[in-house]
């Protein structure tokens, strides 16, 4: 039973995170009716679990409450936006048609932590390594990936190229 609650709550929160990024980063008070608007039938216990998860997200500083007029909104913090972008890239299944995104980087030794983080991130996001610092994907992740690079302060070392053809046919 706990697994079902966790997966329902996680599904709701992930959808809210993704929708809120698309809509300027705001949750609205409509969230508390959200389970009735979402796919499926959610029970009160699911909603209680989601509220508990929101409390945890506030405690960990992924979201904060703000009052706007007579409405109380949950707002993604910059930490929450970074986490949501990273999650989007890691879980994206949507593929671009007739395009590839090549990520090419040359991060200096003095920035080893950034380089190691970025290489591990690309691997975790299922990019395909063409060369040591050249990775490719067909996933639709261009915008969140640009933001992740910007958040890391690495835009001077990391470049994204959009290509229509790559000679390695195993990527298709």
Closest to 17 (Cα-Cα) out of 74, 93, 94, 90: 74
Q: Which pLDDT value is given to residue 168?
A: 67
Q: What percent of the chain has pLDDT over 70?
A: 68
Angle subtended by helix axes 112-124 and 78-91, to nearest 10? 50
pLDDT digits (tens, 9 = 90+) for 128-144: 999 889 999 999 989 88
Question: Among 17-31, 53-67, 79-93, whose mean pLDDT is lowest?
Answer: 17-31
Task: Answer for the pair 5, 43: CB distance below 8 angstroms, yes or no.
Answer: no
Query: Can you give the pTM of this predicted structure?
Result: 0.66
* Distance between CA atoms of residues 172 and 168, nearest Å: 8
Phi first, then psi: give them for residue 157, nearest 5 degrees: -110, -15
Closest to 139 (Cα-Cα) out of 105, 83, 97, 86: 97
Given a cut of 70, whether residue 170 has pLDDT beyond it is no
Given a cut of 90, whether residue 58 has pLDDT beyond it is no
């Amino acid at each position: 039973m706990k697994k079902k609650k966790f997966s329902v709550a996680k599904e709701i929160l992930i959808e809210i995170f993704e929708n809120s990024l698309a809509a300027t980063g705001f949750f609205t008070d409509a969230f508390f009716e959200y389970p009735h608007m979402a796919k499926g039938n959610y029970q009160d216990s699911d909603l209680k679990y989601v509220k508990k998860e929101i409390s945890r997200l506030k405690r960990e500083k992924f979201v904060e409450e703000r009052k706007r007029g007579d409405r109380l909104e949950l707002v993604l913090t910059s930490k929450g936006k970074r986490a949501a972008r990273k999650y989007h890239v890691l879980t994206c299944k949507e593929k671009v048609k007739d395009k590839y995104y090549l990520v090419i980087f040359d991060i200096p030794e003095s920035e080893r932590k950034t380089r190691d983080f970025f290489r591990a991130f690309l691997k975790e996001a299922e990019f395909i390594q063409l060369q040591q610092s050249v990775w490719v994907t067909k996933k639709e992740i261009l915008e969140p990936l640009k933001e992740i690079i910007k958040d890391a302060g690495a835009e001077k070392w990391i470049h994204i190229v959009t290509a229509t053809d790559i000679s390695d046919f195993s990527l298709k």
